[in-house]
Amino acid sequence: MKHLTILVPDVQTANSTISCIVGAYQIFTGANDYWKRIGKEPLFTIVTAGVGTEAVFINGLLSMKPQVNVSTLKKTDLILIPSLTPEFKTALEGNILLIDWLKKQYENGAEVASMCTGAFMLAASGLLEKRNCSIHWSSADNFRSLFPNVNLKTEKLITDEDGIYTNGGGFSFLNLLLYLVEKYYDRETAIHCSKIFQIEIDRQTQSAFTIFTGQKSHGDDVVIKAQKYIEDHFCEKLSVEDLSKFCSVGRRNFDRRFIKATGNTPIEYLQRVKIESAKKSFETTGKTVSEVMYEVGYSDTKAFREMFKKITGISPVHYKNKYNKNLNDSLYDKV
């Protein structure tokens, strides 16, 4: 029988930390129970493990006692790291001990999966250096500043590389758990768990959930000035030359500073601002795709559709049908 360890941090936690711990325990217990029902031996022994005697969550409202101390676990096969505070800066106190332990376990053959902002702990261990990683889109800027050598893939819902798994944000950790159930058990068990816990299986991207606000904590006043101008004039015809002149900076230097500060080229930033505006129109108005396209400064339908899908992962029509409440209400009325 394999061994699964669900970590219980006692510092740098968030409200979502306990959701990840309980969700992981339920889903893997459900997978074990399913195997017993079909005549197979349970695949995993499941334990929660920490370094303290008790972890407290949600301002003392809930507490959890880890079943074992990690120091007593000499060998495990799979380690799950729950989400942590999105304001993570450096590993503190008990989390340092957890990091040292999971590094040794990985070197000893264990696989490691981080849920949402649990990627901060995983990256702090050094195991994500030069590897791909996903995280909640709202924590991406902080993550990049702390771990510039990690290949952050915020459009990905799940990454899988060298026995290290990460996933996006919020409750998408449930999709990672299904992914791991399929990998360790089988497809049949993953489908069973998806039905029992009512989780959509095979989700691949979190792009449609991203709200683009632009990285503005970089401290470069020239780039801030350019960002504000783009956001105020995105529906107009803008060029990088116009922006660099507006900011009184040479084109090459402007490009370099903008990319360093925001993680996007000026053109990429402009496109993301346009598409974010288009998304809001689709969500809140009855405008057609063509009307929204012209409103945000596109004149080529194909180019607009391709850029919208590149950024959100779905087509404009699909997005509108999915998120426009008035449209959905009218559909329900016809049923």
The percentage of residues in the chain with a pLDDT greater than 90, rounded to a whole number, is: 67
pLDDT in tens, 192-223: 999 999 998 877 777 777 778 777 878 899 99
- When pLDDT is averaged across residues 282-297 and rounded to a whole number, the result is 92
- What average pLDDT does the chain have? 90
Element (H, E) at 316: helix 316-323
pLDDT at 262 over 70: yes
Q: For the segment 222-244, what is each residue's pLDDT rounded down to a tens digit?
A: 999 999 999 999 998 899 999 99
pLDDT number for residue 141? 87
Looking at the domain covering 2-209, what would its CATH class be? alpha beta
- pLDDT category at 328 given cuts 50, 70, 90 is low
- Averaged pLDDT for residues 49-75: 88
Look at residue 329 in the predicted model and tell me its pLDDT: 52
CB neighbour list of residue 255: distance below 8 Å, 6 or more residues apart = 240, 244, 265, 266
- Is residue 331's pLDDT more than 70? no
Strand partners, 69: 50
What is the mean pLDDT of the segment spanning 131-151?
92
Res. 143 pLDDT band, cuts 50 70 90? very high
Side-chain-side CA neighbours of residue 280 (13 Å): 10
Is CATH 3.30.360.10 the right assignment for the domain spanning 221-329?
no
- More confident site: 53 or 146: 146
What is the band of 317 on the pLDDT scale with cuts at 50, 70, 90?
very high
Domain boundaries, the chain: 2-209, 221-329
Q: Which of 286, 298, 317, 320 is nearest to 234 (CA)?
A: 298
Quick check: 335 pLDDT over 50?
no
Q: In what order do the strands lie in the sheet with 2-7?
A: 68-69, 44-50, 2-7, 78-81, 111-114, 164-167, 158-161
User: Can you read off the two tokens belonging to residue 197?
Assistant: 């816990």
Please give the pLDDT value at position 333: 42
Predicted pLDDT at 23: 96
166 pLDDT higher than 90: yes
pLDDT at 192: 95
- Give the tens place of pLDDT for each residue, 87-136: 888 877 778 999 999 999 999 999 999 999 999 999 999 999 999 999 99
Kindly indicate the confidence band of residue 327, based on its pLDDT and cuts at 50, 70 and 90: low
Range 175-196 average pLDDT: 95
Report how far apart, in Å, the C-alpha atoms of 193 and of each of 43, 46, 179, 213 are.
15, 17, 11, 35
